[in-house]
Amino acid sequence: MNIVDVWRNVSERIGFYTKETRHDIPDVPGIYAWLVPLWIYDEKNLENYIKIINGIFFYDPQNEARPSREVDAKFNWDSVRVCLEKHPRSPLTEDLQESWQKVMQDEKAKEIFAQALMEASLLMPPLYVGKTDSLSTRYLQHTKGSGREAGDFHSRFTSFSKDLKLQLNVDDLLFVAIRTDSPTNQIFREYKLNKLLERLVMSFSCPPFSMR
């Protein structure tokens, strides 16, 4: 098979699900990711909207209050402790702000833009990446906070969302699932390809809510 032919029928193996379509999630093995949906969380203040979205990706499991580290630089007899703290860089410009305000003031333009922005959620980095023997079961575990690993993500995201005053639950996120069942299921199990796939995708995408 020519590897680029994967894209000809990829829609047969990949799905995008919300709480309204959760019953369509297949009960099959696969890998999955949680993405933040790009709702217009603050139409009046673009700067605040950008801070909200950026803030989600600044989650730090070691220091939830602020992503920071203290580093000791050692010399011969002394050491200097340096505190490093991550801050988002806002792309906000006057032109961008004017364009945003113009669109938000036109109801039809805002409706069209909101749909395109929501679809662009697929271009966002994943918040969490995982593998499972049942995509439908794992969805329920994450949204209900049951099971050790699934419950950890649920509690981490729910707590952090409240700190951001975002009012987002796990089931408000976008669940993206790629099925890895038959006819390749036996090979996937034999070589533990799901585990390899999960580890590689996590290494590439660096999902903030997946523990390293």
Structural domains in the chain, CATH included, are: 1-36+124-212 (3.40.1440.10)
Task: Write down the pLDDT at residue 182.
Answer: 66
- Total length of the chain: 212
Quote the distance between the C-alpha of residue 176 and its chain's center: 10
Mean pLDDT of 2-12: 85
d(CA 180, CA 28): 7
Mean pLDDT of 114-141: 96
Task: Write down the pLDDT at residue 173.
Answer: 97
Mean pLDDT of 130-155: 90
Task: Write down the pLDDT at residue 107.
Answer: 96
Model-level pTM?
0.89
Q: 15 pLDDT exceeds 90? A: yes
Task: Write down the pLDDT at residue 1.
Answer: 64
Task: Write down the pLDDT at residue 64.
Answer: 63
d(CA 29, CA 71): 42
Q: 100 pLDDT exceeds 80? A: yes
Average pLDDT, the chain: 89
d(CA 205, CA 31): 14
Question: Are residues 22 and 139 in contact, defined by beta-carbon separation less than 8 angstroms?
Answer: yes
Task: Write down the pLDDT at residue 10.
Answer: 85
Neighbours of 6 (CB within 10 A): 10
3-state secondary structure at position 25: coil
Question: Are residues 34 and 173 in contact, defined by beta-carbon separation less than 8 angstroms?
Answer: yes
- pLDDT 10s digits, 42-71: 899 999 899 889 888 888 877 765 778 888
